[in-house]
Structure 1
Amino acid sequence: MAIYHLAVKSVSRSTGRSAVAAAAYRSGDCLENERDGLMHDYTRRGGVEDTFIVTPEGAEWAQDRSALWNAAEAAEKRKDAKVAREYELALPAELDAGQRRDLVRAFAEDIRDRYGVAVDAAIHAPHDYGDDRNHHAHVMTTTRVVDADGLRAKTRQLDVRSSASIEVEEIRASWAAQVNDALELAQVAERVDHRSYARQGVEMEPTVKMGHASAAIERRAEREQIAAGEEPHAVTPRGQINEAIQEARGLGYYIQRGRERIHEWSDQLRERAELAAQSMSSFVQGAARAMRSGLHVSNGDGFDALPALDQSPRREQTPAIELDQPGQADRDRQRQQDRERQHGRDGPDIGFGR
């Protein structure tokens, strides 16, 4: 996958370095430092895929690497002066050589236009002893503005504390945008981000920087472990920390995938429940329409149209008025005559008790 890396460094006399030596090493060239007479010959070094110099308009003299960096050395008088600045860039392995060159050139031109400096770029292939995807570039710039007559005023934006962090942040963001544009142009889905995981809102612990010494020890130990038939494992403290971080990331990935699957299942169950509810609603509405239709068209009492709750035949309704039975009138007349005779024997009721 494409990775993001941009580091801003300085070439300073305070650490015993010179711009001429640094440019010779990065470009695989042979340059003489006119200030101290030392010859720096790196023509036999390998891994340098491409080099080029980008200069402001009218400063064609700076296309000569020896003239450019000797002028940078001559312009500084202090023993601790910063004689050059370097940008270390990681290049996407997903791009081919031509695409990587175009990407580095676009960055170099952006730095030239931003500060008015000369830019010396060297594109390096991955090291034989490291990751074979580690394509990278070293982009050296002058610390002074360059024009047709030589080097002029210092570019202080990256030297002053109040503005340096802002400048570096903008350069890092610009480089991320350029890398993503190149990946999109190459129809590569990968993207990079110059922000930390925390700033991106990603809950992932970053690995620690190994450093040259630890990385060399890990590579040697891995070769020995493979030769002995052992499973490779970290042997340095930094390597062990990164190994634990990678294992935690793997566990976190499975946990996250599990959460995603649970959400997917929940969504599926919710969709099925909604479909079932819709089907039940349609069934109930259809049954209600059938009942209303049966009540309207029935010739009887209307209940024949209703679905039976069981299979037993319905009982006949009991009439509300009792029908006259044979001989009932004669019996009623006989009872009335009996009451009248009894009343005649007892005499009229005058309201007094006996």
Structure 2
Amino acid sequence: MADSFHFSVNIISRGKGKSAVASAAYISGEKIKNEWDGVTHDYTRKEKILVKNIILPDHIPKEFNDRSTLWNKVEMAEKNSNAQLARQFIIGLPKELSLSENKNLVERYIKENLTSQGMIVDYAIHDESQDKNGNIHCHIMTIMRPINEKGEFLAKSKKEYILDEKGEKY
């Protein structure tokens, strides 16, 4: 088994010139038009996308299983030019595991840590290995706002800090 893995988390934000639709098109290798700014993002030539899927919490309407619908609704729900649109995780996966084992590992992580908290998750597993260097990794995108059973976006959650015994943030 490999002795180190990559794991990074960042926020997709309009303030940084990013788009949730563009990121979703990239990770899935699809062509998606962003209804917020009218730009079409075409990554249909992207290769080595091994798996792509959207996982919904039980209460979310099935229309959010469509990538274009999901991320365009996220874009349209946010009005500010500096809006935070989505969280993105990039996770290095063990090259020693089969694709099926890596997929199961990723989906278990998603269900235990993200959809169980009410987040919609869009993920893809990429293998951009050159000369078998083992660059298999997963892109995970999650929504920032909770959604109710009618498919309506709710207010973003307030921060709740975890404090140590002295009342200081970890």
TM tier, shorter chain?
Answer: 0.7 to 0.9
Q: Which residue of 1 aligns with 2:79?
A: 77
Q: Which residue of 2 aligns with 1:125?
A: 127
Matched position secondary structure for 2:155: strand
Distance in 2 between residues matched to 1:19 and 1:107, nearest whole Å: 22
Q: State the TM-score, normalizing by the size of structure 1.
A: 0.43
Structure with the largest fraction of helix: 1
Q: What amino acid is the match of 1:141?
A: T
Distance in 1 between residues matched to 2:77 and 2:129, nearest whole Å: 34
* More RCO (CA 8 Å, sep 6+): 2
Q: Which residue of 2 aligns with 1:58?
A: 59
Matched position secondary structure for 1:122: strand
Distance in 2 between residues matched to 1:109 and 1:138, nearest whole Å: 15
1:186-241 alpha-carbon deviations (Å, 9 max, x no partner):
xxxxxxxxxxxxxxxxxxxxxxxxxxxxxxxxxxxxxxxxxxxxxxxxxxxxxxxx
Distance in 1 between residues matched to 2:87 and 2:158, nearest whole Å: 12
Query: Is the 1:56–1:147 contact (alpha carbons within 8 Å) kept by the matching residues of 2?
Result: no
Count of equivalent residues: 158
Q: Which residue of 2 aligns with 1:205?
A: none
Runs of 4+ off more than 4 Å: none
Measured on the aligned residues, the alpha-carbon RMSD in Å equals: 1.7
1:32-54 alpha-carbon deviations (Å, 9 max, x no partner):
10011111111111121100001
Deviation at 1:90, TM superposition (A): 1.0
Could you say which structure has the larger radius of gyration? 1
Percent identity over paired residues:
39
Give the gaps of 5 or more residues in structure 2: 163-170
Distance in 2 between residues matched to 1:127 and 1:92, nearest whole Å: 12
Deviation at 1:58, TM superposition (A): 3.0
1:88-114 alpha-carbon deviations (Å, 9 max, x no partner):
111111100000111111112121112
Deviation at 1:156, TM superposition (A): 4.2
Q: 1:44 to 1:74 in 2, by over 3 A?
A: same
Distance in 1 between residues matched to 2:20 and 2:129, nearest whole Å: 23
Query: Is the 1:6–1:87 contact (alpha carbons within 8 Å) kept by the matching residues of 2?
Result: yes
1:57-104 alpha-carbon deviations (Å, 9 max, x no partner):
132121010110011111111111110101111111110000011111
Give the gaps of 5 or more residues in structure 1: 164-354
Q: State the TM-score, normalizing by the size of structure 2.
A: 0.86
Query: Is the 1:55–1:112 contact (alpha carbons within 8 Å) kept by the matching residues of 2?
Result: yes
- Residue 88 (structure 2) pairs with residue 91 (structure 1): no
Structure with the largest fraction of strand: 2
